[in-house]
Amino acid sequence: MTATVTTTSAGISPGARRRTPRLAIGLVVTTVALVLITMLSLAVGNKYIPLPDVWNALFAPGDSYADAVIASRIPRTILGLLVGAALAVAGGVMQGLTRNPLADPGLFGVNTGAAAAIVTATALGIAGSTSVWVALPGAFLAVIVVYLIGTGRGRATPVRLVLAGVVVWSVLAAYIQAVSLSLPRVFDAYRFWVIGSLAGRDPQLILDILPFIVIGLVLALTLCGSLNALALGDDTARALGAHVGRTRILGAVATTLLCAAATAAVGPISFVGLAVPHIVRSVTGADHRWLLPYCLVAGAALLLAADIIGRILVSPAELMVGVITAFVGGPILLLAVRRMRTAA
């Protein structure tokens, strides 16, 4: 029995088929909302461009001032779409792999590993120290260490992996602080990058991270059936035909690709990978066949919306998007904990 066949019996409610039309409509509505937020992202800035002018600039571009302003905002908007989708899907995969509703993409030390690699490259004076090619090795190395510690002499379990992730995260966070505080040059570069921002990024970053994010998203979406089976526990998942070890490895690879690319491009952005799956799960339930596509669209919408809010609140200056997502994600985390306590 294949993992695809088992999805109907792996933790999916009996009424899942009846909910399909409603979920499909909801996904379309969410996509429409994303399109509107994307238009607003192109319209809002130091100078507001009316939405009809944005439409004309996109589909009938000319040589006007508005067209030039819109063209300058397009790379920032595309970057926000990619990063938001990547972080949200990575969070949904991570929560499925660990069966921990409070897990986020940093649980395996992915974000911290990428940040540690970038800090090290900056300290060594390596050109392009915020490149995805610098972040990826650090992220993968962190995941490998977490997996080795979590496996130990026996089989890897969600609890052991979580504990190993906490250990690796703590060590790498201490290393990052030690290096950045000891070297003023590194601190100056790191303090702007660590907050997380879409502003002032090189448009070339889009082409740099696009292959990794596309591969990570495709890989994550192919694991939906196996993640559904994994929700019932390792033994039941094996009985249903799912390959538990392979699912965890491929899920970790997908999460690493998504988070490392996003972190290298805009810095660590918190709570998107934690908050979005919680918001989406209240609509889709535990079925990853709907959860992950919803996360893809909703994550992009949330990050772009946070970026727009940051531009409006202190205009003509702006708040970095990482600050806005932290303010939004904190209350959502609190509500999630309260819901878990009530359910218990």
Region 81-106: what's the mean pLDDT?
87
Helix axes 132-151, 110-123, angle to 10 degrees: 130
Region 212-231: what's the mean pLDDT?
93
| Whether 161 contacts 147, CB under 8 Å | yes
Given this model, what pLDDT does residue 148 score?
83
Question: What rounded mean pLDDT belongs to the chain?
Answer: 83
Fold classification of 3-297+307-343 (topology level): ABC transporter involved in vitamin B12 uptake, BtuC (1.10.3470)
| Whether 42 contacts 73, CB under 8 Å | yes
CA distance 87 to 68: 30
| Whether 271 contacts 329, CB under 8 Å | yes
Confidence of residue 6 (pLDDT cuts 50, 70, 90): very low
| Whether 92 contacts 103, CB under 8 Å | no
Confidence of residue 19 (pLDDT cuts 50, 70, 90): confident
Q: Of all residues in the chain, what percent carry a pLDDT higher than 90? A: 28
**C-alpha angle 231/237/238, rounded to 5°?**
160
More confident site: 337 or 45: 45
In this predicted structure, the answer to whether residue 238 has a pLDDT above a threshold of 50 is: yes
Classify 258 in phi/psi space as left (phi over 0), alpha (psi -120 to 50) or beta: alpha
pLDDT in tens, 140-152: 898 888 888 877 6
> Cis omega before residue 331 (within 30°)?
no
Strongest mean pLDDT among 10-14, 167-171, 210-214, 282-286:
210-214
| From 238-242, 262-266, 325-329, 330-334, the region with the lowest mean pLDDT | 330-334
Region 48-58: what's the mean pLDDT?
87
| Whether 51 contacts 39, CB under 8 Å | yes
Q: Of all residues in the chain, what percent carry a pLDDT higher than 70? A: 88
DSSP collapsed to 3 states, 168-214: HHHHHHHHHHHHHHHCHHHHHHHHHHCCCCCCCCCCHHHHHHHHHHH
**Which residue from 97, 125, 144, 100 is spatially nearest to 260, judged by alpha carbons?**
144
CA distance 102 to 17: 28
Burial 291-312 (b: 16+ CB within 10 A, else e): bbbbbbbbbbbbbbbbbbbbbe
Token representation of residue 257: 């690709």
Helix or strand (DSSP H, E) at 260: helix 244-266
* Domain spans, the chain: 3-297+307-343
| Whether 95 contacts 158, CB under 8 Å | no
CA distance 226 to 223: 5
CA distance 152 to 141: 17
Region 267-295: what's the mean pLDDT?
88
What DSSP character marks residue 106? G
- The contacts of residue 87 (CB under 8 Å, 6+ apart) are 105, 258, 259, 262, 269, 272, 273, 276, 299, 303
Give the phi and the psi of residue 286 in degrees, each rounded to 5.
Answer: -90, 0
What DSSP character marks residue 124? T
Strongest mean pLDDT among 35-39, 108-112, 249-253:
35-39
Number of H helices, E strands in the chain: 15, 0
Region 256-270: what's the mean pLDDT?
86
Confidence of residue 8 (pLDDT cuts 50, 70, 90): very low
CA distance 246 to 223: 10
**Which residue from 118, 168, 121, 173 is spatially nearest to 142, judged by alpha carbons?**
168
